[in-house]
Each structure stands twice: as structure tokens, then as C-alpha cells.
Amino acid sequence: MIELSHVSYSYPGASAPAISDLSLRIDEGEFLLVCGPSGAGKSSFLRALNGLVPHFYGGRFSGSVRLWGRDTLQHQPRDLADLVGFVFQDPESQFVVDVVEDEIVFGMENLGLPQTIMRRRAEEVLDQLGIAHLRRQRVSALSGGEKQRVAIAAVLAAQPRALVLDEPTSQLDPHGAEEVLTALQKLNADLGLTIILCEHRLERVVQYADRILFFPGVGSWGLGAGESGPTPNSQPPTPTIGPTREMLGQIGLVPPLQGLGRALGWQPLPLTIKEGRAFVARQPLTDNRQPTAAFNIQHSTFNIRLQGVTLRYGDHEALYRLSLAARPGELLALMGRNGSGKSSLLKALVGLARPSEGRVEVAGRDIARVPTEELARSVGYVPQDPRSILYHDTLREELEFTLRGRGQGTGDRGQVAEDRIQGTLTSLGIAHLAEAYPRALSGGEAQRAALAAILVGDPQILLLDEPTRGLDYSAKADLAGLLRALCAAGRTVIMATHDVELAAACADRVALLGDGELVVEGPAAEVLGDSLYFSPQIAKLFPGSGWLTLEDALGGLSP
């Protein structure tokens, strides 16, 4: 049992608390889902559960957190490892050794477990998370999703009484996410393991949760133009907790299925597609939808083209004879399971990885003959780990650095540069973070900060690798609107994503990759609507309709 009593916490130098007077009890064997907007205090809450707050992060802490009677203030995180296992938002930050099996065994060795037990547990978690084939791979060579599963396996192997996970499926493809969540649900149901899981993609996990803890955040912290963020010394609103169905009927951030159910008055609110289909069958609805106009792709000529590209890392072929193209004004979504070659394709387009065969053209030029710094002026790239491109002391300095590289930060253009910085930060809802240290931001804030550092340079081509990592539904909707606006202005956007709802909301075309090859590509409605694993919730609920989003369904159905 975990008990929090009047817990308040502020990070060092922070003008407002991350947690304010929080009291709650988490019963043994419970599956608790934690959700809310980016920067609302979710990760801070999770860190308090194993003593990282305040032992590692410092700051001001009051109240108490007790884990099965053990007070976190009186025990260091290492002394709580037998009670709570923690999986971080960035899996790379918790790896110690560079071979998968060694990483899984490392924590058990520190607990002094016998070798026979360690070997049995290692085999079990490798099988549970579907990564047995990775046991002898180097962690540094894995894809982002593979790293995430390894991090979960390493923590599970120690068999703690509670498992705390911060966005464990953010880098997993839909099938991989389902495997991980099914394994967690089985551990919860069969072994009584307490699960406390923070997740923004609620559609993946609500059916497993007993209760939802919702952190509302400060209203103006959300993504959107003109928002200025919290005022100094403002108190975050009190989190609310309750049964899953009840909370999904109240909170603003809900998946499309629950959004449709609320709009049409379905009771009880469905948690799964199967439950939603039962409502559709009992309450036939009339299709009044007008044919949806196709996205306007302004130009017919391609400004990005890959021709027979093969890309190797040692003996591994990340891409194999892949040909693909994109036009100005087009948003192309790259999808596929973890390790299918999406990130490698983006790196090839920006010159970070050189193909062994084939040709990569940007604006009609073979990038093999274009200096990287010249290419970077027209191609903006936000990698899977946004903090990897954030290295200045303030967010403002990050954007100033980008503009200086384009000769726009000094002299007569100084005011123009300042206006562009302010406009970019405001459009992403992070103007209040201009003087913040970028690498100390929350996951969602860091994602927007990295995007701002690239967008301020006004690239003609934007490459995004998992851009919704750490973003809530409202932030994702605003991101989709921003990407559409960029495409309407003639920019080309190519994003690698596992977020089928984002792809459904804003992609013109989808290219599905598998083992480095192009499996299929075509209009989003065709590729996503007929997919087993990559269909959005609305497409699953209304198969054959051609609808992908909540707006499609609400616009086409009437009681």
C-alpha cells in the first residue's frame, strides 16, 4: 500500500510548486493510470514514489510518502528498490551496461540474488516483452522502442511490489505497446503487482486501469497561441482521482472513442472498441457525411526523392532498395513496427546517415554533394530524443543560435529575429519557458522546445521523429494544426510516428515500412482505414466508412 499525505514539492529555483498538498492512497494490486497535460506534475508525482523527489532532485518537500510503511524521506531510492521499480520517460537515462541481457541482470546482481534465480527471471521477462532475440544485442544499437522494452524488462526482473512507469509505450508501435500493456495487466491480475502508469495515449491503456489520477495543470499551460503560462507562485489545481469510466466522463483529455460516446450520450461510457460497437449496433445512426475534400497538395513536383536507397549499419541493412518521394505542401507519415527503418530514413534525408547504394535528392540536388551545414538551412530535423539537440542555457538562446546560423540574429535584423523567436514560442505555447533551462523541461515541453529551435529557422522541409512523445491530446491537436498550416504554406513535413491518431488527423499520405523496405504507401484513409495494427479508433469502430477521426464521425452521423 502506498500513502501520500499532504505532499507538496517545488524544484530548486522554481517559482511555483509542481505538486501542492496532495493526499491519496494506492491499494496493493491496483492498476492506477496517471494522466493530464504536459507540465502538470505527473512525472514529479511518479518520482516522489521512489524517493527521487526530493533525494535526487533537491528542492522543497513537505508531507510524507509511505511505501508499505517505509517513509521515502527516511530511505534513499536504492533502499526502496525492492518495493518500487521505476521506468523513466527516457529509457536511455537508466541504462548502465551495453548488452541487453547484462542490463536485465544488473539490477538483480545489486540485490544479491542467486544466479539460478537471476537466469530464470531474465528468461521470463525476455519472453514476456518479446525481446528474447535481442538478448545479446548492444543497447546502443537498438531502436527507441526496443530500448523502452529493455528498460521495462530490467525493472521487472527485480520483481518489485509496485511498478511505476512514465510513458512506457511512447516509442512503441501499436502491436508492441499492446504486448507490453498485456504483460503488465497479466502481472497485475495474476501476481498482484501494483501498477502506476503515466500515459498520454489513453486509448492504449484505459481498459486496464482500475482508477485514473488526473493532474489538470494550470489552464494556460496547454499548447496554443497567445498562452503565457503560469504566473509566479501560482498553485497547480488539485488532482482528482476516481474509477476509470467515471473519470473519462469528466476530464477534457479523452481518446476519440470516449469523445464520441460522450457526444452521443452512450452510457455506460465504453472503454473498448468492442463495447463501442455494441452501442453502434443498438443505436443505428444515419450517415449524413459529405465527401471529405482531399488535402490540397499545392505542387506536383517532388522536392524529396529517395531512389533505390540501401543503408547499412555494419552488417545490418536498415533500409533496402527503398524508393519514396514527397511534394511541397504534403505531410507524409512514416509508420511501421519498431526497427522497420523509419528513423534511418529520416537520418538519410538530413545527411546524418549515408546510403551505401541509391540516391537521396532534396530540392533536386543529390545530398551526397551538399555540405551538411548547407543542407541544414533548408531541412529541419527533430530527432526521437528532443533533448539531444538542446544544449544552451536557456530556450531563448537555442532559438537565437538557430537564427545566427542563418545570419538573422544581429544588426538591422535583430528586431525581426526577436519577433520570430517570440512568435515561434507563442505558437507552441511555451513563451513562458523562454528563460528556462531546456534540458530540465518535462518530456512534452522538451518536445515543443526542440520543435521551436528548428521551426524558428523557417525550414522548407521538416523531419520529425515521434513528435508526440510527451504530448497530451490537446497539445497533439494543436501540433496537427500547426503542421497543416506549415503544409498550407508550401512546406514539406515528413514524420515518423507510432501515433495512429496523429497520422489520421493530419497526414496526406502514409508510407508503411517493414524491415527497411517500403511495404505500401498511399492516401491516409486507404492505408490506415484497412490496417490491422495501424487503424485509428474511429476506423475500427466504423470499418469501411473511410472515417479516421472523431470529427469525421461527428460530421457524418446523426442520431
**3-state helix/strand/coil string of 475-502:** HHHHHHHHHHHHHHCCCEEEEECCCHHH
| Cα–Cα distance measured from residue 72 to residue 66, given in angstroms and rounded to the nearest whole number | 6
At 96 the three-state DSSP class reads coil
Strands 2-10 and 60-67, how do they pair? antiparallel
For residues 260 and 248, is the Cβ–Cβ distance under 8 A? no
* pLDDT tens-place values along the chain, 559 residues long: 999 999 999 999 888 899 999 999 999 999 999 999 888 899 999 999 999 999 999 999 999 999 999 999 999 998 898 899 999 877 888 899 999 999 999 989 988 899 999 999 999 999 988 899 999 999 988 877 788 889 989 999 988 999 999 988 887 888 888 888 888 898 899 889 999 999 999 999 999 999 999 999 754 333 333 333 444 455 667 899 999 999 999 998 899 999 999 999 999 999 999 999 999 988 666 665 544 444 444 445 788 999 999 999 888 899 999 999 999 999 999 999 888 999 999 999 998 999 999 999 998 889 988 887 888 888 999 998 888 899 999 999 999 998 887 766 544 456 778 889 999 999 888 999 999 999 888 878 888 999 999 999 999 999 999 998 878 888 888 889 999 999 999 999 999 999 999 999 999 999 999 999 999 999 999 999 988 889 999 999 998 888 999 999 988 876 5
For residues 452 and 460, is the Cβ–Cβ distance under 8 A? no
Residue 138 CB coordination number (10 Å): 11
Prediction pTM value: 0.85
Cell of 489: 504554406
Cell of 278: 455494441
DSSP string for residues in 144-168: HHHHHHHHHHHHHTT--SEEEEEST
CATH 3.40.630.30 at 2-253, yes or no: no
The pLDDT score that the predictor gives to residue 531 is 87
| Cα–Cα distance measured from residue 129 to residue 169, given in angstroms and rounded to the nearest whole number | 12
| Cα–Cα distance measured from residue 34 to residue 165, given in angstroms and rounded to the nearest whole number | 10
The pLDDT score that the predictor gives to residue 220 is 32
The pLDDT score that the predictor gives to residue 412 is 44
Contacts by 314-317, CB closer than 8 A, 24 or more apart: 316/141, 317/516
Q: Which strands make up the sheet holding 331-335, listed edge to edge?
A: 379-382, 461-465, 492-496, 331-335, 509-514, 517-523
| CATH topology agreement for domains 2-253 and 295-363+460-545 | yes
Give residue limits of the domains in the chain: 2-253, 295-363+460-545, 388-458
Fold of 295-363+460-545: Rossmann fold (3.40.50)
Instruction: Pick the closest to residue 277 from 543, 513, 68 (CA basis).
Output: 543
The pLDDT score that the predictor gives to residue 91 is 81
| Cα–Cα distance measured from residue 30 to residue 27, given in angstroms and rounded to the nearest whole number | 6
